[in-house]
Amino acid sequence: MPHTDDLRGSQRTYVTVDVPAATGTVQYVLLDALVAVTVESVEFVAALAHTGDATNTKNINIDSRDSSFDNPTEEANRDYGAGTDDTQGDVVSVWAPTGTAGDLTAGAYLSAEIEQVGTGIRLAGTFVTTFRNRE
């Protein structure tokens, strides 16, 4: 599980996912903040082409969570509705917080929820989370 320690400057975590169309909603930990951090960005690098659909698709929800992994707050999302498509290799900005919006307290988590809609689509790629320690 990606986590923080006493790193300095901007750091990155990489979490690769491959969620089949038939798989329901799943959660992936993007960052386990052992110390207070500021998230600078979350990007999704598409491993294959994704074609959005109005009724059968997947959505990406970026959630901050407390130390018990409960009480999610949706920070950002990318919904693969009709007209929202990726080609293989696309780098998509999912969350680019400004000011203190990206601040996580020590013990908090950042997660990606891959939300099933209808019968879904296969969603595969890598989340790249850039952050820096505040302590």
What's the CATH number where 75 sits?
Answer: 2.60.120
| Dihedral angle, C-alpha 50, 56, 60, 66, nearest 10 ° | -160
Total domains, the chain: 1
CA dist 80 → 53, 71, 84, 119, 123 (Å): 6, 24, 5, 13, 10
The answer to whether residue 118 is domain-embedded is: yes
The answer to whether residue 67 is domain-embedded is: yes
Predicted pLDDT of residue 134: 85
Task: Quote the pTM value.
Answer: 0.92
The answer to whether residue 48 is domain-embedded is: yes
- 55-80 mean pLDDT: 94
Domain extent, residue 46, equals: 10-133
The answer to whether residue 5 is domain-embedded is: no
Q: How far apart are CA 106 and CA 47, in angstroms?
A: 32
Which residues, at least 6 apart from 77, have a Cβ–Cβ distance to it below 8 Å? 59, 60, 61, 62, 94
Q: CA 111, 116, 122 angle in degrees (round to 5)? A: 90
- Whether pLDDT at 5 is above 60: no
CA dist 9 → 5, 17, 23, 43, 130 (Å): 12, 26, 37, 18, 10
The answer to whether residue 4 is domain-embedded is: no
Q: Provide the pLDDT confidence category of residue 8 given band limits of 50, 70 and 90.
A: low
- 59-74 mean pLDDT: 94
- 102-109 mean pLDDT: 96
Q: Provide the pLDDT confidence category of residue 87 given band limits of 50, 70 and 90.
A: very high
- 6-23 mean pLDDT: 89
- 34-39 mean pLDDT: 94
The answer to whether residue 2 is domain-embedded is: no
Q: Are 128 and 30 in contact (CB under 8 A)?
A: no
Q: Provide the pLDDT confidence category of residue 2 given band limits of 50, 70 and 90.
A: low
The answer to whether residue 74 is domain-embedded is: yes
